[in-house]
Amino acid sequence: MAGERTEAATPKHRQEARKRGQVARSHDLTAGIALTTGFAVLIASQGFFRQTLESAFRLAYADLHRPDKVFNSIFLWMAPIVRQGAVALAPICAATALAALATQLAQVGFLVSSQAVRFDLNRINPLEGIKRLVTMRTAVELLKGIVKCLILGGIIAHWTYRQRLAFMELAGLPVSVGVAAFADLCRGLATRVCVALLAIGAIDYFYQRFEYNRSLRMTKQQVKEEYREQEGDPQLKARVRQIQREMARRRMVQDVAAADVVITNPTHLAVALRYDPEKHAAPVVVAKGRLLLAEKIRTIARRHHVPIVRNPPLARALYRMVKVGHTIPETLFRAVAEVLAFIYRTYGRKF
């Protein structure tokens, strides 16, 4: 059908969509890479993380034997604890934020769209909100959320079931040993979850690209209208070209009619020359052509009694070396002068 969107989006259409803030990006991929990066930094800096937290706990317990000091200046008591906790979490948070930013830039590049944040009454219209809730895209996003929960829940449940005996053994271990063993167990779970998140993000990225390209498809009529806007109406352009050809033909008739001589090949080429000492220092090529155009020049010359001279070498040289409206080069002065001298002697004209 004529209204079906069957055509791939043009570069202009994609650029307009980008200006509106419509780009292909996967939030799942961003979340997966950011969380994986944060987890990797945590593992890499676990020694620093543990020492900083231990320092925070020592500060917390140092004054617990003096309740009056704690409750009288609770904020002063908490300040160093919060500060140490922030120091411990800073590398992880910074790495996570940078990874999320880098992933977004890799997907869509640097983009600032004023249209995307422009105030729109439809965004707070309850009816429009209900319509957005029942779209196919919303249904797909809901289904994706359910699938992600099932996958991650299945991974956690399977891991917990396999490690059930290890959890039971933790109860009989000293606290320091038990905490280290529990951390090792959680590291295995976090690794599996990160791998799953990256896989989900990669799949979602390709799906978002596919859905984005599909949403930007255009109808044949839209493609035609865009081409008309960029290149102009084909019928109008054809009409303009026709008018230009007519004007060029009339100008050629006038130029050939005013020429002093037409030099021919004799059938393949024709070059019309005019020499006006008051305007130009040398003869000027006012028209030239080959095949049909050469025949047209000869016809006009005969009609207006312009002399036609057969000189194949000179005709080829003029046709190849001189553009219309330009004077002849010095290398051709002698040959052209001989032709013009012959014409002027024959027809009684003078230099």
Three-state SS letters, 101-136 = HHHHHHHHCCCCCCCCCCCCHHHHCHHHHHHHHCCH
pLDDT tier for residue 201 given thresholds of 50, 70 and 90? very high
The arithmetic mean of pLDDT across residues 200-222, rounded, is 87
Residue 206, pLDDT score: 92
Give the start-to-end residue ranges of the domains of the chain: 11-118+163-227, 236-347
Percent of the chain with pLDDT over 70: 78
In this prediction, residues 218-228 reach a mean pLDDT of 78
What pLDDT score was predicted for residue 351? 39
Buried b / exposed e across 20-59, counting CB within 10 Å, b at 16+?
eeebbbbebbbbbbbbbbbbbbbeebeeebeebeebbeeb
| CATH fold group of domain 236-347 | name from scop (3.40.1690)
Of 292, 301, 296, give the one whose Cα is nearest residue 260.
301
What pLDDT does residue 294 have? 85
Pick the residue with more confidence: 232 or 192?
192
Q: How much is the pLDDT for 350? A: 46
Is residue 35 within 8 Å of 96, Cβ to Cβ?
Answer: yes
Share of the chain above pLDDT 90, in %: 13
Of the given ranges (56-60, 182-186, 336-340), which has the lowest mean pLDDT? 56-60
Whether residue 38 is predicted with pLDDT greater than 70 in this model: the reply is: yes
Report the range of poorest mean pLDDT among 65-74, 95-104, 149-158. 65-74
Name which of 337, 258, 339 is nearest 304 in CA terms.
Answer: 258
